[in-house]
Structure 1
């Protein structure tokens, strides 16, 4: 029987949970975001002989970006070309959206050692447009912060892309409006930060100001928020052009999967 790709349905959740349980040693966020992604739309599954064995998602982001995420294939069905089938399908879907003037580009992010996905993307015309260091630190004693909002782009120290978990938004007014609707934005001792809600994305923290003093001051507030959502570390996406902060951040206890040898999160873009 040939596999079929269709829109995801509520009854697919057990299959999604199984894929998530067998991905990244059970730490995949796919099951947690499933219901929200289902409501958002453009969530597709690959079904073979009545079993969902793969997923892919296209999320509409500000500035007419189609964001690709959630590409998964059940471990028992990997190395059989199903990842390419899903990738080709979502590229075609992106082109259809571009023809209707809904988006004008496709983008996605991935870990730099995800060689298979990177090779597949480059072959299809994607290019690297931004790179980040994914940094982490253990929690400390937490303190409450206050709800806040983004008042203007001048508050944010991000030039091309603004991190929102593992999504990256164009630095533009539309993105600020989008973040004010969706992100959990907090203020503590004069500094602000935000993070993605756990039912939507991986909740890495985004400090407004990329300053050693800001990072240090916000540690108790970010620790409090991390515990509140069940996380045991403070995760931050540091732009490649802020390498000047690496040594100070090391002193604050931040670590990186590659020991800061090179940026390890890549953002790709393909114009349509």
Structure 2
């Protein structure tokens, strides 16, 4: 049987429940306050709920004694079905919205983790590339401040500098020797690559004697550093308030922290024998 037919009945308990149920006007008022998501189609939900209610009432073999009971069911049941379908639709809509927000938050967190890992890997690769590049320069020095002349024999001039420093270096000990960079003021740096590191270290050890000669007052012999290490060296040299000394050995940068004159650590440092200041 279907709700609304004259032969449908209802017992005393069912009548009491129906009397306590909200009226059709009240349900219509509540329905106007409910808003459904435009993406959610509740028509199928509405039809299923209505069918289930009708089947349940039909299977109970209830008899409505008066025509008023049938009319009451016709008014209440559709309103209840509509309210329930709207509530179910909103619940489903909220559930999908929650799932979407949860998924978006998880995806964002995963993307941030991947981005952080990629940045870390890029930084590690940059440092590793810098280390390998510096290793290829282990036999090379950079001479800064040598006056540049037209048609000069740069190798001969470099050998003269080494001889004045007291280093025993011949042309056979040099693999390559040339100026590098643009020509801004006639003093481009000179790159000198030795055949082996032994000769390079000998020159770097003897270079301190050039400071006492006026003609080499503005000539400097330095390790050929990578761009990253060269910038780091410049930053440390400029930090005079915090850094006392900066020097380079085989492409590695060292520095000492500036300490107050009364510091015991400073006094111990000044009396330490054999300290290389570069």
Give 1 or 2 for the bigger CA radius of gyration. 2
Which is bigger in relative contact order (C-alpha 8 A, separation at least 6)? 1
Greater helix content: 2
**Interval containing the TM-score (normalised by the shorter chain):** under 0.3
Greater strand content: 1
With the length of structure 2 as denominator, give the TM-score of the two structures: 0.20
